[in-house]
Structure 1
């Protein structure tokens, strides 16, 4: 499947299902909506947005509770979910992933014990990411040109080099920045807290966390939005993020900065992993062995959520303006998020070894 085909296919947001809900009754039950991150990041914002809506839409109106299982950059929670089965859970456990779960899988991280093809995707959410700086660093920018940052020393809180954070890590490198990552934080929210405390002087957040937690920092003058990772048009080209149309993309910043190129191996690798990590950013799964009728019941419930008259309004405020996909669209997005070209993977594996001593060979 080409990038263009996958993007176009993923645009079909809702697939109708019939006759599914009566086969699943969750009356009086609690559904554990597990995410492999802390309660302070974008995944938590996303999960807590969907949890009450799912409670209203699922047959039997169960209580949907978000539970957090951070650790090892999300592989701890994902490995746990791999051991769950339909027989043991019967619709009472769902799992929410992000690009930070996909990247270790894509890179062959030895800690990965999970297999996406065993799981049953019922929702895929696209998102974006926004990088921001303290005012003193933002003053060193010359319009889009980031050359003034090249001589500065940066500290950044990161979940790990093989997580979604590799997208900004590679962007910092391409811009010629000297960034020392502090690896091991449990979620992007912890990176934001480092920024707020003055322990870090560059950061990025996914859109939902940026809208909720960084916008107040921008409003009080302690953070300046710098660039987004962008979005994809129907041809697979990087364009401005529809949630943040006034903020330039990394592509624009790179084109304006001497030494940063939007062609070649580094750019191709950055773009491939950006696509795998952001347009295909967050997904909800039922565990392995889930019967088709159960997958259809969850899909029907999510379709009801997406069809709400107020969904566009409430989701824009909490999640931003991005596709929310079920059915075939979700499956195509899963493909987009769990496959990258071999050349891009090889480049990233070599770069991680050379710059951070991370061995994935």
Structure 2
């Protein structure tokens, strides 16, 4: 993230403070320092959402009024639904709790309402720590070395199981672009999938996140052991991927493009943070500004850079705009989304 973007991001969030009164500031100090501030993480410890959440927690308190202690509580379950349902229905609405959860959660009600007890359009978005791009890749010994090869030959890809990016994304690629991707399920995680690729058990994988691939397999990429065939997302800002085609650029049909925008909107809000509806405006504004300042904090940026974690934040307004565009998609587009993802009749 450039210095200019850091400054613009903080300014966009912090404008409300220009008119804040001294009394209001003192009131915010009193509120936040009276109790720990909590970040709910809707996944187990050790995963990417947890790593981002804990990195942010280590610095967020320095930017909140009253400089409270910030604690992280993991609340895994239901693919992130447990955390967001708790945030929406049960968590205090006083500004003492925010949550982060799977990027797929805000989009899920469009295609499957099972377990949904929240309205993504009514959550108070805080921002996102970064965006994301997935990759379709193959091993260097595979005959599939380019997107043209993929179109001609098809490929087998490793997957953890139904509903995951590694299972849904190859279906989308197959259904929208008309290529043959055979999915082999049962791998516990991304590391196991990449091991299967290295061993030649499968040709490759579809949906591996760049943010986890680059820091962990940088040597594979730089030595040419991996063929990077396609980027799965709405955009890419990564210099290392400048020659890898983006899926949106591979379709000509406007309806197909809109379908892909709905599906891959989750990549643009890859690490989202939200507060429950009803948080008092002044406290919500203070949280948003503190979040923005944290993501521009040189100490956080140094820490995440060492860990190979990308920081490319999105504002609350940007997240809300993504949600609005997705949820105003025409019914025929949503039906094609379901077809592309290989889903059955809507619940």
Shorter-chain TM range is: 0.7 to 0.9
- SS of the residue corresponding to residue 145 of structure 2 reads coil
The answer to whether residue 321 in structure 2 is matched with residue 359 in structure 1 is no
Q: TM-score, normalised by structure 2?
A: 0.76
2:244 counterpart residue number: 248
Which residue matches 1:192? Answer: 190
Residue of 335, 338, 342 corresponding to 2:324:
335
SS at match of 1:102: helix
- Who is 2:205 aligned against? 202
Distance 1:343 1:120, change over 3 A: same
Counterpart CA distance in 2 for 1:26 and 1:71 is 29
CA apart distance, 1:345:
0.6
Alpha-carbon distance in 2 for matches of 1:213, 1:51 = 23
Q: Which of these residues, 39, 42, 60, is aligned with residue 45 of structure 2?
A: 39
Alpha-carbon deviation of 1:100? 0.9
Structure 1 distance, partners of 2:254, 2:288, is 40
- Relative to 1, partners in 2 of residues 1:45 and 1:300: Cα closer, same or farther, differing over 3 Å? same
Verify: 1:271 aligned to 2:264, yes or no.
Answer: no
Contact 2:127 2:272 survives alignment (8 Å): yes
> Secondary structure of the equivalent of 1:360?
coil
Following superposition, the deviation at residue 347 of structure 1 comes to 0.9
Spell out, residue by residue over 1:102-129, the C-alpha distance to the aligned partner (whole angstroms, 9 max, x if none): 2212224222111124421122345122
CA distance in 1, matches of 2:326, 2:48: 18
Q: Does the aligned pair in 2 maintain the 1:30–1:92 contact within 8 Å?
A: yes
Aligned counterparts of 1:167 and 1:72: Cα–Cα separation in 2? 20
2:173 equivalent in structure 1:
171
Shift in alpha-carbon separation, 1:181–1:36, aligned structure 2, 3 A: farther
SS in 2 for 1:277: helix
Please list every run of 5 or more consecutive structure 1 residues that lacks an aligned counterpart in the other structure. Answer: 1-9, 233-239, 256-260
Q: Distance in 2 between matches of 1:157 and 1:272?
A: 23
User: Residues 312-357 of structure 1, C-alpha deviation per residue, up to 9 Å, x if partnerless?
Assistant: 776667543634314x4454344345543432211123445xx45x
In 1, distance between residues paired with 2:58 and 2:325? 28
- Asked if the contact 1:123–1:283 (Cα under 8 Å) also holds between the matched residues in 2, the reply is yes
Number of the residue aligned with 1:48: 54
Q: In 1, are the aligned partners of 2:231 and 2:246 still within 8 Å (CA)?
A: yes
Between the aligned partners of 1:172 and 1:278, the Cα distance in structure 2 is 19
- Are the counterparts in 1 of residues 234 and 261 from structure 2 also a CA contact under 8 Å? no
| Pair 1:84–1:155, CA change in 2 (3 A) | same
Q: Relative to 1, partners in 2 of residues 1:294 and 1:338: Cα closer, same or farther, differing over 3 Å?
A: farther
Q: Is this contact kept in 2: 1:123–1:299, CA < 8 A?
A: yes
Residue 295 of structure 1: CA displacement? Answer: 0.2
Does the residue aligned with 2:292 lie in a helix, a strand or coil?
helix
* Match of residue 229 from structure 1: 232
Structure 2: distance between partners of 1:324 and 1:40: 23
Task: Check conservation: 2:171, 2:181, Cα contact below 8 A.
Answer: no
For residue 157 of structure 1, what is the aligned residue in structure 2? Answer: 160
1:30 is aligned to 36
Count of residue correspondences: 325
RMSD: 3.7
Alignment partners' CA distance in 2, 1:243 and 1:120: 33
